[in-house]
Structure 1
Amino acid sequence: MRRSEDTWLDLLDEQLPIEEVRRWAIRDDCGAVVVFCGTTRDHAGDLTGVTALHYEAYEAHVVPRLEALVAETRSAWPAVVAVAALHRTGKVALGEEAVVVAVSSPHRAEAFAAAAHLIDRLKATVPIWKQEVSTAGRRWSPIAAQIEEAPMTMVSHPGTQQPTDAGPYR
């Protein structure tokens, strides 16, 4: 775990502290806090009857990879003040959160863009793999491809630059 005044990164084998993350991200100098939670749903692509997900991670590389993504996010959106990215390992039951990212900044445009970038890059580049548990049995997510450094391209938007990735979702 890495937790400071402006960065919170963790890999947990228990329920994520969603409300604590939200409260931690609130800042006197920020008018925007965006919190994204990814939850287990009852289907995955063509697979129905999903009852849980099981996540495995290359733990020694998760926090360093998250640190790099936070640096990348802060570089692209310098107004960002606080950034959190926490992910579960082990069994995640239906309706439970598997991942949470939070970003605070003075204005909403940067917070939304930075949070979207962070979750997209996390899913594409952090070594965490998902196994789907369903009434039909277990399978590794068909899109749980080998983790690669996803190339970044800059896409120009009015008032901001947004990095985007070309990596697969898992």
Structure 2
Amino acid sequence: MDEGEDEPRNFIKVTHEKLSTDDVSQLVISPCCGAVSIFIGTTRNSFEGNKVVRLEYEAYTPMAEMEIRKICSDIRQKWPSIKHVAVHHRLGLVPITEASVIIAVASPHRSDSLDAVKYCINTLKATVPIWKKEVYGEEKYAWKENKECFWTKQNNV
């Protein structure tokens, strides 16, 4: 494979489909990279003493994808060696133990890919308009704000 065939790419997907770690990791693998770092955010069964039975996510997909593209652009400015970035986020119902978000980053060396993955998930939670509803036993629920979100801080929400 020559250099031109493996140009840096972003793989962004906001979907109601179940996410696959294998599929996401395969998107970013490159012969010039020795590191693929992956973050998988899954639904846990409890939060602050409440039994969680599932999560439900909603988003305005075009805006969410646009904000994720901005994050990918920021990553490339901060870590120029990054080759490929994949960010897949699930919408709708996400049962316990299943993935809500998978982020994968490929780079020549592990340090950049690890730092970029951490930056990506933290920035995604703070800026991307994806809303999470935590559903508890007996069908009680709570919409969860992202405490890191810039608009929540600005408006003292």
Q: Decide: shared fold, TM above 0.5.
A: yes
Aligned position for 1:94: 96
Aligned position for 1:162: none
The answer (yes or no) to whether the contact 2:35–2:107 under 8 Å persists in 1 is yes
The answer (yes or no) to whether the contact 1:9–1:86 under 8 Å persists in 2 is yes
Aligned position for 1:66: 68
State yes or no: 1:39 paired with 2:48: no
**Take 1:94 and 1:117, find their aligned partners in 2: how far apart are those partners?**
25
Aligned position for 1:17: 20
Superposed displacement of residue 148, structure 1: 3.4
**Take 2:49 and 2:12, find their aligned partners in 1: how far apart are those partners?**
31
Superposed displacement of residue 111, structure 1: 0.5
Superposed displacement of residue 144, structure 1: 3.8
| Equivalent pairs, count | 147
For the residue of structure 2 that corresponds to 1:49, the secondary structure is strand
Match for 1:126 among 121, 125, 128?
A: 128
Superposed displacement of residue 84, structure 1: 0.6
Residues 37-66 of structure 1, C-alpha deviations (whole Å, 9 max, x = no match): 00000112x242101000011222011111
RMSD (Å), alpha carbons: 2.2
**Take 1:68 and 1:89, find their aligned partners in 2: how far apart are those partners?**
20
Aligned position for 1:111: 113
TM-score norm. by structure 2 comes to 0.86
Aligned position for 2:3: none
TM-score norm. by structure 1 comes to 0.80
> Using a 3 Å threshold, how does the CA distance of structure 1 residues 149 and 112 change in structure 2: closer, same or farther?
farther
Superposed displacement of residue 7, structure 1: 1.0
The answer (yes or no) to whether the contact 1:10–1:85 under 8 Å persists in 2 is yes
Superposed displacement of residue 5, structure 1: 6.2
Superposed displacement of residue 90, structure 1: 0.4
Q: Normalized per residue, which structure has more strand?
A: 1
Superposed displacement of residue 26, structure 1: 1.2
Q: Which runs of 5 or more residues in structure 2 are unaligned?
A: 1-6
